[in-house]
């Protein structure tokens, strides 16, 4: 049995005070349903969120990092710096970083092992855009991203990586993938991973992301290969996010 993961991607939202306020409401309402809950604030709210999560089962992840340990990389942050704040994971390869900030699969091939080496849990995002889906290229896109981004991760570490399947056409659009579309893509990713190691592929948590809301979360997560959700818009409100966390325990 794979433990479900519910991750809240706040993107470029929330001040420290807003992060603390969210955390109070989250911890007050958090069901004891055996899920893993991860909050991904902007860098500036990491420390406040880590502090607010202390003593709870909620962990905190960053939204990006650089692959080098240190050096002349103005504006960047390393895995070690995140660890130093009490951060436990990091989102890598989010489509907004790929689209707007030049994130490449080649860089991700270094970032994923660098995160693991520093003891951070990577949440690797993959997914096709609308033209690729319409052109029947979804399988090729996912295969290429998975193969390249995880190429340097040793087999026995694969299960430490969380993967988020996020079709770009579903992110922030209100156009959620159907549960069947989500299952099909997530199963394809798992089959691809089993080419590396069947045992590890069975253990890897693969999430769905893209317009997950309280009203559609249960159906998406009821799919046999969907092990949770990466939530953007609906994770800004603690009541909505709590409803999604609750849906995972059903």
Give CA 249 to chain center in angstroms: 18
Question: Annotated catalytic, 66?
Answer: no
Judged by beta carbon, residue 123 or residue 193, the one nearer ligand PGA is 123
Contact indicator for 225, 183 with CB cutoff of 8 Å = yes
Q: Give the span between the Cα atoms of 61 and 218, in whole angstroms.
A: 24
- Helix-, strand-, coil-residue percentages of the chain, each rounded to 5: 45, 15, 40
Q: What angle do CA 199, 204, 209 make, to 5 degrees?
A: 155
Binding mask 174-213 for ligand PGA (x = CB under 6 A): -----------------------------------xxxx-
**Contact call for residue 233 and ligand PGA (CB under 6 A):** yes
State the minimum distance, in angstroms, from the CB of residue 173 to ligand PGA: 7
Residue 12 token pair: 């470029």
Stretch that binds ligand PGA, among 58-66, 135-143, 226-234, 237-245 (CB under 6 A): 226-234
Q: Give the span between the Cα atoms of 39 and 49, in whole angstroms.
A: 8
Judged by beta carbon, residue 157 or residue 237, the one nearer ligand PGA is 237
Contact indicator for 196, 155 with CB cutoff of 8 Å = yes
State the minimum distance, in angstroms, from the CB of residue 54 to ligand PGA: 25
Q: Give the span between the Cα atoms of 115 and 79, in whole angstroms.
A: 6
Contact set for ligand PGA, span 116-175 (CB under 6 A): 166, 171-172
Strands (E), 55-95: 58-62, 89-92
Binding mask 36-75 for ligand PGA (x = CB under 6 A): ----------------------------------------
Q: Which of 96, 103, 128, 166 is catalytic?
A: 166
Contact set for ligand PGA, span 24-43 (CB under 6 A): none
Contact indicator for 165, 126 with CB cutoff of 8 Å = yes
Q: Which of 94, 96, 103, 128 is catalytic?
A: 94
Question: Annotated catalytic, 100?
Answer: no
Question: Would you please indicate which residues are annotated as catalytic (active-site) residues?
Answer: 94, 166
Binding site for ligand PGA (CB under 6 A): 9, 166, 171-172, 209-212, 230-234
């Amino acid at each position: 049995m794979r433990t479900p993961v519910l991750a809240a991607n706040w993107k470029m939202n929330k001040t420290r005070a807003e992060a603390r306020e969210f955390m109070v409401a989250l911890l007050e309402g958090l069901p004891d349903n055996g899920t893993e809950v991860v909050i991904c604030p902007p860098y500036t709210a990491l420390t406040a969120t880590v502090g607010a999560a202390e003593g709870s089962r909620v962990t905190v992840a960053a939204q990006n990092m650089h692959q080098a340990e240190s050096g002349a990389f103005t504006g960047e942050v390393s895995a070690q710096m995140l660890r130093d704040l009490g951060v436990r994971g990091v989102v890598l390869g989010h489509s907004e970083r790929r689209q707007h900030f030049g994130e490449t699969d080649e860089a991700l091939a270094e970032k994923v092992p660098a995160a693991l080496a520093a003891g951070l849990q990577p949440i690797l995002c993959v997914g096709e855009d609308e033209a690729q889906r319409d052109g029947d290229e979804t399988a090729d896109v996912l295969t290429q991203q998975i193969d390249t981004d995880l190429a340097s991760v040793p087999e026995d570490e694969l299960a430490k990586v969380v993967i988020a399947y996020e079709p770009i056409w579903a992110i922030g659009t209100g156009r959620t993938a159907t549960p069947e579309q989500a299952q099909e893509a997530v199963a394809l990713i798992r089959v691809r991973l089993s080419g590396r190691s069947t045992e590890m592929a069975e253990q890897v948590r693969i999430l769905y992301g893209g317009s997950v809301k309280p009203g559609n979360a249960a159906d998406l997560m009821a799919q046999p290969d969907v092990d949770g959700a990466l939530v953007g818009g609906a994770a800004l409100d603690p009541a909505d996010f709590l409803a999604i966390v609750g849906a995972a325990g059903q």
